[in-house]
Amino acid sequence: MRKIAVAMAKGGVGKTTTAVTLAHGLAMTGATVVLVDCDTQGQAAGFLGVKPPHGVYEFVTGENRKGEPVSKNSALFPARDNLWLLAGGMGLVELKHRLGEYPRDQRHAVLASALVPKGDGLDYLIFDCAPGWDVLSVNVLMAADEVLCPVAMQAPSLEGLKVFFSYLLSAQKQNPALRLKYVLPTLFDRRTRHSPEVLGQLKKRFARQMCAPIGYNTGLSEAAARGQTIFELRPGAVSAEGYRLLVRKVIEDGKNQETHS
C-alpha cells in the first residue's frame, strides 16, 4: 500500500483539489483508494459532492461526537467506485484537542496506529493536509511514506516551500521512511511573468521530484462547486490531462518500486 500525503504549509495552493483528483484518478484505474481529509475545513466531501455522516474523528476515536460508540467502518464513506472518503471537518478540532492530551511521545502516532488494520486490500491512502502546521499535520506525516507538495506558481509560494521543508525535516526525524516524492506546480499560467520563472527555479531545485504543471483552469473550481472531479465535469480539459499525467506517474513509480524491492 502507498501512503501519500498531499501537504504544503501555505493555503490555497491546490492541496484539496490535488488530493481529491489524484484519489479519484487512481480509483478510476481500478485501484482501491481511501482519501483521508485531515483539514478542519472538510472540503474534500464537498468537492466530491457527498455528505458523510462520520469521518476521521469517528474513525480514530471509535465514537461519535456525542460520545456514542460507532464502528470504524461506518466512518469510511463510499464516494465513488473504489474510492472511500474519511471526511474531515470540525470534528478534527475536537480530535486535535484530544491528541494534545496524549503523552508527548505518543500523540504523533495516533492516526498511523488507527489506520494500520485498514491496510489490508488497500492500494492507496491519500491524505489531504490542512495548511499550517499542527499536531494533526504531524500525525499525517507519521502515517505517510511519501509527500506530494503542490506549489502554486507565484513567488510567495517558494517562500512557503522553505518553511514547509523545515517542518518536513523535523517530521523525518520521527519517521525516517518519509520522502518528498513529488513537487507539483499548480495554478501555472504561462501568460504571466511569474509562472515560467518560478517553474524554472523549481525544476533546478527538484529535478527528481518534479511533476508536469497543472495549468490555471477555472474548470477545477467549477467542478469542485458542483461536487464533481474534473474527470467527470470536463475530462477533455487541460487540467484533467495534467492530473491524468500525475496519476500515471504515481502508478509507474509504484511499479518501479516493486521491481527494485
Ligand X SMILES: Nc1ncnc2c1ncn2[C@@H]1O[C@H](COP(=O)(O)OP(=O)(O)OP(=O)(O)O)[C@@H](O)[C@H]1O
Q: Which is nearer to ligand X, 70 or 147 (CB)?
A: 147
Beta carbons within 8 Å of 195's beta carbon, 6+ residues apart? 153, 154, 187, 188, 189
- Answer yes or no whether residue 16 interacts with ligand X by CB under 6 A: yes
**Which of 28, 99, 214, 246 touches ligand X by CB under 6 A?**
214
- Answer yes or no whether residue 220 interacts with ligand X by CB under 6 A: yes
Q: Which is nearer to ligand X, 25 or 118 (CB)?
A: 25
Which helix (H) or strand (E) covers residue 138, if one does?
helix 135-143
- Answer yes or no whether residue 17 interacts with ligand X by CB under 6 A: yes
Q: Which is nearer to ligand X, 186 or 229 (CB)?
A: 186
Can you read off the three cell numbers belonging to residue 151? 506549489
**Which of 29, 32, 41, 175 touches ligand X by CB under 6 A?**
41
What is d(CA 131, CA 167) in angstroms, rounded to the nearest whole number?
Answer: 12
> Which of 201, 196, 191, 132 has its CA nearest to residue 167?
132
Phi (first) and psi of residue 78, to 5 degrees: -75, 110
For residue 29, give the amino acid letter.
Answer: T
- C-beta of 89: minimal distance to ligand X in Å? 12
Site residues (CB under 6 A) for ligand X, limited to 147-206: 186-187
- C-beta of 240: minimal distance to ligand X in Å? 11
**Which of 14, 55, 88, 89 touches ligand X by CB under 6 A?**
14
- Answer yes or no whether residue 239 interacts with ligand X by CB under 6 A: yes
- C-beta of 151: minimal distance to ligand X in Å? 10
What is d(CA 261, CA 257) in angstroms, rounded to the nearest whole number?
Answer: 6
| 76 touches 96 (CB < 8 A) | no
Q: Count residues near ligand X (CB under 6 A).
A: 21
Tell me how crowded residue 251 is: count the other CB atoms within 10 A of its CB.
Answer: 17
Q: C-alpha 96: how far from its chain's center? A: 18
- C-beta of 28: minimal distance to ligand X in Å? 19
- Answer yes or no whether residue 11 interacts with ligand X by CB under 6 A: yes
Provide the CB-side half-sphere exposure for 208 (13 A, CA).
4
Q: Which is nearer to ligand X, 70 or 246 (CB)?
A: 246
Q: Which residues bind ligand X (CB under 6 A)?
A: 11-17, 39, 41, 43, 131, 186-187, 214, 216-218, 220-221, 224, 239
